[in-house]
């Protein structure tokens, strides 16, 4: 009996040992992760689900920006849920709410205007979904977004004014084609330009109106400026190429030579600007880089994996002039 008892007890011990190794981890047999080892598994690009609320398709710049986001997602194997708001803030807000319901890992948004985001960003924060601002900033408390990836629009405005001052030898009657009212690029390009103009008392802005970053509206507003001011106009400051190209059409209709009778400077430096510079109709293009896809997804993966990221990742940008345009155009990606 005693031997059998010992044998049965031994068997029971073996069974417990086995179950301890097979069914559930026990401190005796399964190495416990030590306190500072990563417990949450790291995601990689193929695991990532990203919601992207694009603002619209208003310009060459935006088209290139969208291509960059979509192509990069495809190349990396990221599941991208992309919604185009067609230039309406309400549509962007609806898109963000859809992404929250779908429990995406992270949201990218290019806010069409700076204001009106606090409520929906708060909802995303409440749902534990981080937001990255891409291209345009939003006027919200910094805890409502994890990082801003985009240009220094103030500096783009300052660069434009400095280049124009050289171009017109410090004396001009300027008309300004402003971007989408309330948008960060329009607000800051407007301010940065005027900051430098204070140093040039003979450079005057005689008119300023929004062309909403589109070619058609740029042409329409320039027509109005020409009817109102005629030959008094000696320079145009356009917040983007599309409006500058519209202005060029209006100036030619009016019977003047764009780039000669009226000096023109625009921001973006997209393909159309290079073509206009080669044709002698545009005098300078201040670059605003739309190819933000690679930086955006790199940021997104780091955020989802809990790695620290800068609050602002500035774009790298230059300035281009007609004398280099022919050589550089073949190298441009947008
Ligand atoms: C700037 C971007 C602006 C471009 C325009 O980062 O938001 O919007 O300058 C575009 O061409 O429409």
Question: What is the tens place of the pLDDT at every residue in 76-134?
Answer: 999 999 999 999 999 999 999 999 999 999 999 999 999 999 999 999 999 999 999 99
Q: Is the CB of 58 under 6 A from ligand 1?
A: yes
Domain residue ranges of the chain, discontinuous segments joined by +:
45-151+290-315, 153-288
Q: Which has more pLDDT, 71 or 40?
A: 71
Show the tokens assigned to 247: 């202005």
Does 303 have pLDDT greater than 70? Answer: yes
> CA-to-CA distance for 219 and 216, rounded, in angstroms?
5
> CA-to-CA distance for 111 and 87, rounded, in angstroms?
10
Residue 94 is predicted with a pLDDT of: 98
Q: Which has more pLDDT, 300 or 13?
A: 300
| Helix and strand totals (H; E) in the chain | 11, 12
Percent of the chain with pLDDT over 70: 88
Residue 40 is predicted with a pLDDT of: 67
Indicate the pLDDT class of residue 39, thresholds 50, 70 and 90: low
Q: Is the CB of 268 under 6 A from ligand 1?
A: yes
Does 4 have pLDDT greater than 50? Answer: no
> CA-to-CA distance for 41 and 33, rounded, in angstroms?
12
Residue 38 is predicted with a pLDDT of: 54
Does 15 have pLDDT greater than 90? Answer: no
Residue 333 is predicted with a pLDDT of: 84
Nearest to 233 by CA among 245, 223, 220, 219: 223
Phi/psi of residue 260, nearest 5 degrees: -120, -70
**Per-residue pLDDT reduced to its tens digit, 256-289:** 999 999 999 999 999 999 999 999 999 999 999 9
Looking from the CA of residue 151, the nearest atom of ligand 1 is: 6
What number is the average pLDDT over the span 200-219? Answer: 98
- Lowest pLDDT segment from 153-167, 196-210, 259-273, 311-325: 311-325
| Residue 54 C-beta-side C-alpha neighbours within 13 Å | 23
Residue 331 is predicted with a pLDDT of: 87
Show the tokens assigned to 327: 């050589």
Q: In what order do the strands lie in the sheet with 319-320?
A: 203-210, 172-178, 235-238, 263-268, 284-287, 319-320
Percent of the chain with pLDDT over 90: 85
Q: Is the CB of 61 under 6 A from ligand 1?
A: yes
The CATH superfamily holding the domain 45-151+290-315 is: Response regulator (3.40.50.2300)
The distance between the two most distant Cα atoms of the chain, rounded to a whole number of Å, is 119
Does 253 have pLDDT greater than 80? Answer: yes
Q: Which of 154, 268, 273, 313 to mutate to test the pocket of ligand 1 (most atoms within 8 A of CB)?
A: 268
CATH of 153-288, one of 3.30.390.30, 3.40.50.410, 3.40.50.2300, 3.40.640.10: 3.40.50.2300
For ligand 1, atom 1, name the residue with the nearest CA. 185
315 CB burial (10 A radius; 0-12, 13-18, 19+): middle
Written as one string, the DSSP assignment of 115-145 is SS-HHHHHHHHHTT--EEEESS---S-GGG-
Angle between helices 241-254 and 60-76 (to 10 degrees): 150
Q: Is the CB of 287 under 6 A from ligand 1?
A: no
> CA-to-CA distance for 146 and 309, rounded, in angstroms?
8
Same fold, 45-151+290-315 and 153-288: yes
Q: Is the CB of 288 under 6 A from ligand 1?
A: yes
Give the number of other Cβ atoms within 10 Å of residue 231's Cβ: 11
Does 295 have pLDDT greater than 60? Answer: yes
Does 35 have pLDDT greater than 50? Answer: no
Residue 332 is predicted with a pLDDT of: 86
Q: Is the CB of 135 under 6 A from ligand 1?
A: yes
Q: Is the CB of 149 under 6 A from ligand 1?
A: no
Q: Is the CB of 176 under 6 A from ligand 1?
A: no
Show the tokens assigned to 246: 């519209």
What number is the average pLDDT over the span 194-208? Answer: 98
CA distances from 236 to 219, 222, 250, 259, 292 (A): 12, 9, 12, 9, 28
The rounded Cα 28 to chain-centroid distance in angstroms is 53
Q: Which of 53, 160, 288, 295 to mutate to test the pocket of ligand 1 (most atoms within 8 A of CB)?
A: 288
Q: Is the CB of 190 under 6 A from ligand 1?
A: no
Looking from the CA of residue 213, the nearest atom of ligand 1 is: 12
Query: How far, in Å, is the centroid of ligand 1 from the Cα of 194?
Result: 19
316 CB burial (10 A radius; 0-12, 13-18, 19+): exposed
Q: What is the mean pLDDT of the chain?
A: 90
pTM recorded for the entire structure: 0.85
């Amino acid at each position: 009996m005693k031997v059998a008892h010992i044998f049965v007890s031994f068997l029971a011990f073996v069974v417990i040992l086995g179950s301890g190794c097979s069914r559930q981890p026990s401190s005796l047999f399964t190495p416990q992760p030590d306190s500072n080892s990563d417990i949450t598994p790291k995601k990689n690009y193929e695991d990532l689900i990203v919601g992207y609320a694009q603002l619209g398709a208003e310009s060459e710049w935006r088209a290139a920006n969208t291509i960059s986001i979509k192509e990069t997602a495809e190349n990396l194997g990221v599941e991208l849920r992309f919604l185009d708001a067609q230039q309406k803030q309400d549509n962007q807000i609806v898109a963000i709410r859809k992404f929250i319901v779908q429990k995406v890992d992270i949201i990218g948004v290019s806010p069409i205007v700076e204001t009106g985001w606090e409520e929906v960003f708060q909802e995303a924060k409440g749902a534990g979904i981080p937001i990255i601002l891409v291209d345009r900033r939003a006027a919200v408390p910094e805890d409502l977004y994890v990082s801003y990836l985009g240009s220094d629009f103030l500096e783009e405005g300052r660069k434009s004014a400095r280049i124009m001052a050289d171009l017109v030898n410090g004396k001009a009657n300027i008309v300004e084609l402003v971007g989408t009212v309330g948008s960060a690029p329009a607000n800051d390009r407007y301010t940065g330009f005027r900051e430098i103009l204070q140093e040039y008392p003979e450079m005057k802005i005689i008119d300023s109106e929004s062309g909403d970053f589109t070619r058609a509206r740029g042409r329409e507003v320039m027509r109005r400026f020409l009817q109102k001011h005629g030959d008094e106009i000696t320079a145009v400051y356009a917040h983007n190429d599309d409006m500058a190209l519209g202005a060029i059409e209006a100036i030619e209709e009016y019977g003047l030579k764009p780039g000669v009778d009226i000096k023109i400077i625009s921001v973006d430096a997209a393909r159309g600007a290079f073509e206009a510079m080669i044709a002698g109709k545009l005098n300078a293009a201040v670059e605003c880089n739309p190819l933000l896809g690679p930086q955006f997804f790199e940021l997104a993966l780091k955020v989802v994996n809990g790695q620290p990221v800068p609050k602002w990742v500035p774009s790298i940008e230059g300035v281009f002039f007609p004398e280099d345009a022919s050589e550089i155009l073949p190298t441009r990606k947008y």
